[in-house]
Amino acid sequence: MGSPELTTATARQRMNRIPRVIVSVWGRFWAFELAHELQERKALSRLITSYPRYAAERFGVNRANVVSCVLPEAAVRLARRFKSPWLTGRADMLARRWYERAARRALRREEGDIFVGWSGTSLSLIRDARRRGMITVVERGSSHIVEQATILREEHARYGHDVEEIPQAVIDQELAEYAEADYVAVPSRFVYESFLRQGFSPDRLLLNPFGANLAMFRPDRVPHEPFRIIQVGGVSIRKGFPGVVEAFRKAAIPNSELWFVGSITPEAETYFANNPTANVHIKGPVPQSELSRFYNQSDVVCLGSVEDGFGLVLLQAAACGLPIVCTRNTGGPDIVGDNECGIVVPIHSPDAMADAFRAMYEDRPRARAMGDAARRRAEEYFSWTAYGERAMEHYRRLCNARGLT
């Protein structure tokens, strides 16, 4: 029997061993930031993605650490050029399965302790990884798929749209992934609680809020005359644009503007054609590298989403020193805290949102103090470095519990 000192030293060494993590993602999402943080900590075994290697390299991931399966992604992008919702939807479903098969082949060549896969394209990879003794984690950025589908269906019905945004095949795939993975990683309390409401065990949930690029997004105020409210992201029913417009109308703030920055959906185009509103400006999509300039020309960031797992744009705006007005169905409450960084309102409450807008306008010193507090919270809790540290803490704990040493 070994000495107690040797046993303790061995246990300590095992506790400190760096887990080997394989990441698979259809698209990009926040996977490239996760891969970069893992790489910095020498924990990345491989990143498998449908994007080309150079795209991951832009986020600091070494090409040698990337397996690229680009043909499925290219097929979807080609289908989108025909601007047929049916064709795009069909191509997306087929390409996702195509990617999963390619990623599965790549996974067979890799060694790791933990497999992390994005929800919707990871079921067969989870099964393979578990057979090889890996711990499996599904990354889910939105609310539980059942709640998400219900919210979106009901929201479209409110506006007379007969739309099923999430096909049943996608729901079935995600439910199977939740059931078969060891853990589900979620970015906000809103998402966490949606899983609890669906009967999911809290012991299988890993809560880790996203981060922001604090070098790219920082306060650099641009003097401007109108009081400006900005919402960034797709101008869609999911992002709650009609409620935001109604709140802006009700607030009736003198010399004010509402900016929407992001691609506009057909239902939004129809809405604005039928409901012209003074001082509402649709800016269209903007590259990430230019977003900071838009935040810094604004006074308040808004996110009126009815379903949004975190709303990364809120973190970007917070890093630029903007106070926040958002709904509860986002990650905004995690950033705002006890109203020190902004104001949280219920969904479908344009009156409450209008009151929040007016409060920001009428008490500028308080609004600026909220923006300063938002920047401090971003620096302390919501950098990508902090996100990477929390991820590593989760992975080490899981490995130690499993005895993967």
Q: pLDDT digit string (tens) for 113-123? A: 999 999 999 99
The answer to whether 140 and 186 are in contact (CB under 8 A) is yes
3-state secondary structure of 269: helix
pLDDT at 197: 98
Domains of the chain: 18-211+384-402 (3.40.50.2000), 227-381 (3.40.50.2000)
Q: In the structure, what pLDDT confidence band is assigned to residue 83 with cuts at 50, 70 and 90?
A: confident
pLDDT above 60 (res 97) = yes
What is the tens place of the pLDDT at every residue in 322-374?
999 999 999 999 999 888 999 999 999 999 999 999 999 999 999 999 999 99
Q: Which helix (H) or strand (E) holds 12?
A: helix 4-16
Q: In the structure, what pLDDT confidence band is assigned to residue 7 with cuts at 50, 70 and 90?
A: very low
pLDDT at 163: 76
Q: In the structure, what pLDDT confidence band is assigned to residue 3 with cuts at 50, 70 and 90?
A: very low
pLDDT at 82: 86
Question: What mean pLDDT do residues 16-29 have?
Answer: 93
DSSP string, 371-399: HHHHHHHHHHH-BHHHHHHHHHHHHHHHH
Q: Residue 374: name the closest of 314, 304, 311 by CA.
A: 314
Residue 167, CA distances (Å) to 172, 262, 400 in order: 9, 24, 38
Question: What mean pLDDT do residues 169-185 have?
Answer: 97
pLDDT above 70 (res 16) = no
Percentage of the chain beyond pLDDT 90 is: 86
Q: Is the pTM of this model over 0.85?
A: yes
pLDDT at 247: 98
Percentage of the chain beyond pLDDT 70 is: 96
Residue 376 and residue 359: Cα distance in Å, rounded? Answer: 22
Query: What residues contact 347, with CB distance under 8 A and at least 6 apart?
Result: 240, 243, 304, 305, 306, 327, 328, 329
3-state secondary structure of 351: helix
* β-pair type (227-232, 114-118): unpaired
pLDDT at 164: 72
| Average pLDDT of every residue of the chain | 93
Rounded (5°) CA angle 181-186-189: 135
Both structure tokens of 31: 């996977």
pLDDT at 12: 45
